[in-house]
Amino acid sequence: MIKVCKFGGTSMADANAIRQVKNIIDADDSRRFVVVSAPGKRFKDDIKITDMLYRCYNEVVNLGTCKKSFAVIRERFVEIVKDLGLTIDIESVLDKTEQEIDQSKSPDFAASRGEYLSAVVISAFLGFEFIDAAEIIRFDSHGKLNVDYTDDKVSNRLLGVDKAVIPGFYGKNFQGEIKTFSRGGSDITGSIIAHGVKADLYENWTDVSGFLVCDPRIVHEAKVINQITYKEVRELSYMGASVLHAEAITPVMKRRIPINIKNTFKPEDKGTMIVPNEQYKEGLNDAVITGIAGKKNFTVLLIEKSMMNAEVGFIRRVLSVVEHYGICVEHLPSGIDTLSVILESEQLKDGVLTDLVSEIRENVNPDYVHVIENISLIATVGHGMARRHGTAATLFTALAEEKINIQMIDQGSSELNIIIGVANSDYEKCIRAIYKAFVK
């Protein structure tokens, strides 16, 4: 059996956490490939190493050297190595890293060094081979992961390797330069490695005992989800659930490799199993729904035009205008004479919203365009929702009883989720109402 283990920033935060990681690895000989993040926060007001590395880049741009900001990083890693009792020459590694950050003047290179340094330390502590992610993970000329090439590189490089540590979060682009995934991208690295070595299980170790039904900052007693499908995780991660990067699902999904979300500091907890539909076992979860997640700050463009449904190309012309501004469309609920285009408000700053609405009016000549701002989108997700009567009725009744006005409803044909739009001011109250209605 082969297990790939990814350890997050809290698992790398200090020597005590790293010793716990070693205990976990030593407890199971099938845990052969370890992917690590950069050290995270040790306490509430601490600063993540990756954030410090971005400061290093900004310092290089402004001052020509990152010496001041890198000193904090240097102190952190020297302390970890000393506390672990390692004899590696970490000062030389840090000297070279600081010099390379100064010379590269690249935000991606600077940010990647947290994972790189973590992997150097962990490989020495575990006695595993160190394999640089830049050797095996490739991005194409568009900045996207080169899936087939990367899979070949991972498979060939790790073939015959007994145990190895690989830094997460980055690879190399087609020009040979370091390129990172988006924040939280070490999850993707772990998934890529699991796919490449044909792992039996991908363990993602973090500081919580699995996926929770909803954000515990909103519902303090939120329960752990025992089992969840790939598609459900994609929906919840996209809508803001932060335990696992949304893009980490795709590589393991291709080989039907289960993911186990586990707690580094409570390894005895079962955590959450993420499985393909065919491995889903009914009755393991306590509620009809699987999870609730959401995001704030969306804008709705409500476009109305009589006989819209009979006008060929109407929606295409609207979306062409949005595309012209380089804006991604989040959702597109429609009626016979209405079309709602839902966009992230962040993309509509500095006069973009006004220009966008004007151009839509010019291109499709609608009866009117109504702009609704400060909207939150909340997704209620459940593998079994489609097979149970009254799910939508329960949800809408719960919101009505709390006097929450629903400004948008969007449900796909798969009936995997129901997405609603409410005012930002109702966001937390809405999640609590849905949780109370479904989770006993």
Report the pLDDT averaged over residues 243-257. 88
176: left (phi over 0), alpha (psi -120 to 50) or beta: left
pLDDT of 413 over the 60 cut? no
β 164-167/178-180 pair status: unpaired
The residue type at 279: Q
Tell me the two tokens of residue 60. 């290089």
Tokens encoding 159: 């073939």
Percent of the chain's residues with pLDDT above 90: 75
Q: Which pLDDT does position 286 carry in this prediction? A: 62
Angstrom distance (rounded) from CA 79 to CA 77: 5
291-438 CATH? 3.30.2130.10
Please, which pLDDT band fits residue 282 given cuts at 50, 70 and 90? Answer: confident
| pLDDT tens column, 36-48 | 999 999 998 999 9
Q: How confident is the model at residue 75 (pLDDT cuts 50, 70, 90)?
A: very high
> pTM (2 decimals)?
0.85
- Give dist(CA 353, CA 348) in Å, integer: 5
Sheet of 129-130, strands arranged across: 129-130, 164-167, 31-36, 3-7, 201-206, 259-263, 272-275, 227-229
Taking the C-alpha atoms of residue 83 and residue 128, their distance in angstroms, rounded to an integer, is 19
- Whether residue 30 is predicted with pLDDT greater than 60 in this model: the reply is yes
pLDDT bin (cut points 50, 70, 90) of residue 415 is low
Structural contact between residues 35 and 6, judged by C-beta atoms closer than 8 angstroms: yes
Scan for tokens 């949005």, then name that residue.
322
- Per-residue model confidence (pLDDT) at position 232: 87
pLDDT in tens, 187-236: 999 999 999 999 999 999 999 898 889 998 999 989 998 998 888 888 88
Where along the chain do its domains lie?
Answer: 3-207, 291-438
Fold designation for 3-207: Carbamate kinase (3.40.1160)
Q: Matching CATH topology for 3-207 and 291-438?
A: no
The residue with tokens 């970890």 is: 80
Q: Is the predicted pLDDT of residue 245 greater than 90, yes or no?
A: no
pLDDT band at 383 (very low <50, low <70, confident <90, very high): confident
Q: How large is the average pLDDT for residues 148-156?
A: 95
- Residue 242: band (very low, low, confident or very high) from pLDDT cuts 50, 70, 90: confident
